[in-house]
Amino acid sequence: MRLPPILLASLSLPLVALAPSASADGVSWYGYEAGLQLAASQNKSVLIDFYADWCGPCRRMDEETYADERVVEKSECFVCVRVNGDERPDLLSHYGVDAYPTTLFLNASGIEVHRVVGFRDAEGFLLDMEKGLAGLPCVVGGEPREQSTWPLAILLFAVIAVPVAALIGLRLRARAGGRAGGR
């Protein structure tokens, strides 16, 4: 059975809508709706870049930060979404964005885990990307990618060392208070 060309074209539209836009900087950018849909289906974190065409720091992010090969490589850990704020004021309002550039990092459930306002060089942005992963593994092509374990170390310190130190401090205060009150 041979399908008419118009039917073939209409069947391929959903695939085109989910395809990332090719960019000279190497980061694969998706539109907002397609990106969030893809992130949900792949259980992946989301990076949303809010920009404006007239924004100088936004252009600098494109030319320097998003062009850095380390940032391009790390961007594979996310579904990267670009939103022109002048065209999507509804999203500016929804996310409380009031300056450009603003980069949001969302977990796969759509909850914001980190926010960056203003220009960041590649070094700083790589640290922000680590924070944006919120300690979760970076999964590319179904395979976990090796990443820094420092977020896990910080989490372990916060969960174990801080409460233990607090308990020790309470015991020392209780002992000191008991001695002072008994005299």
Q: What is the CATH number of the domain that holds 87?
A: 3.40.30.10
| Average predicted confidence (pLDDT) for the chain | 78
Q: Are residues 134 and 157 in the same domain?
A: no
Percentage of the chain with pLDDT > 90?
57
pLDDT digits (tens, 9 = 90+) for 37-47: 999 999 999 99
Number of domains comprising the chain: 2
Specify the residue for token string 């008419």. 4
Helix, strand, coil percentages for the chain (3-state, nearest 5)? 50, 20, 30
Q: Is residue 154 assigned to a domain?
A: yes
* 69 inside domain: yes
Return the pLDDT at 124: 97
Q: Which residues are catalytic?
A: 55, 58
Within this chain, do residues 119 and 171 fall inside the same structural domain, yes or no? Answer: no
pLDDT in tens, 49-95: 999 999 999 999 999 999 999 999 999 999 999 999 999 999 999 99
Same domain? 123 vs 140: yes
- Whether 43 and 77 map to the same domain: the answer is yes
- Nearest by Cα to 61 from 69, 49, 70, 73: 49
Do 110 and 169 fall within a single domain? no
pLDDT band per the 50, 70, 90 thresholds, residue 137: confident
Q: Do 118 and 80 reside in the same domain of the chain?
A: yes
What domain range includes position 65? Answer: 16-145
Asked if residue 160 and residue 113 are part of one domain, the reply reads: no
| One domain, residues 40 and 127 | yes
Please give the model's pTM, rounded to 2 decimal places: 0.66
Residue in the structure block whose two tokens are 């998003």: 66
Residue range 111-126: mean pLDDT, rounded: 97
Whether residue 169 sits in one domain with residue 92? no
Q: Indicate whether 9 belongs to any domain.
A: no
Between these two residues, 25 and 15, which has the higher pLDDT value? 25
